[in-house]
Amino acid sequence: MDENALLKAIAGGDDLALRQLFEGNAPWMAARLRRSMPADAVEDVLQNTFIAAWKGAPRFKGEGLVGAWLWGIARRQAAMWLRKHEQRRTESELPTDLPGRSDPATSAANSTDLQRALDGLGPPGSEHRELVRLLWAEGHSVAETASCLGIPEGTVKSRAFRVRRLLKAALQQGGTQ
């Protein structure tokens, strides 16, 4: 079932459709949220996002991508969480893994290692690099990535699994040299 049909089913009270929508979108949304939020907040924001999507499904008009609509909800939920919780945190309590808070030398080394690992996947525009760009850099869902690449969703998943293994191996190898 495509995501527009899932939202129609959710609007009609289908809980299984909500579960499918969550399973298809939560992983990429969590990855994007982790870039700018404390790790302990991501689960709360995702839960609130899908509650809001469940309540708002009847108002979705089908204009644009469902993933983009969900991401808009997630951004608003994240902003509300940050306003509510960050005021209570002191500087010493802020996570050290937030962008801009780590040692510049470590950040540069990590960035260089990642670039080398990506280069090992092939030139920009190659099969693996396009997958990385669509899934992780741009945050598209598996379904959207499959549509963009003109391949089945299962192929996207198997290639993503392979790419993760290749990147992990390249990063581990780069860290031991």
Q: Give the per-residue pLDDT at 97.
A: 44
Q: Phi and psi dihedrals of 129, rounded to 5?
A: -65, -35
Q: Give the per-residue pLDDT at 36.
A: 81
Q: Give the per-residue pLDDT at 39.
A: 80
What is d(CA 41, CA 51) in angstroms, rounded to the nearest whole number? 16
What is d(CA 113, CA 107) in angstroms, rounded to the nearest whole number? 10
Q: Give the per-residue pLDDT at 108.
A: 52
Scanning the structure block, which residue is given the tokens 């509300």? Answer: 80
Residue ending a domain, choose from 99, 129, 161: 99
23 and 87 in a single domain? The answer is yes
90 and 113 in a single domain? The answer is no
The parent domain of residue 150 ranges over 102-177
Tens digit of pLDDT at every position of the chain (177 positions): 788 888 899 889 888 999 999 999 999 999 888 888 888 889 999 999 999 999 999 988 877 889 889 998 998 998 888 888 765 543 334 344 434 444 455 545 555 677 778 888 888 888 888 888 888 777 788 888 888 888 999 999 999 899 888 888 877 776 444
Which residue from 84, 86, 71 is spatially nearest to 32, judged by alpha carbons?
Answer: 71
Q: Give the per-residue pLDDT at 148.
A: 84
What is d(CA 151, CA 161) in angstroms, rounded to the nearest whole number? 15
CB 156 within 8 A of CB 146: yes
Residue ending a domain, choose from 99, 123, 152: 99
Domain of residue 64, CATH code: 1.10.1740.10
74 and 141 in a single domain? The answer is no
Domain of residue 140, CATH code: 1.10.10.10
Q: How many CA atoms lie within 13 A of 174 on its CB side?
A: 18
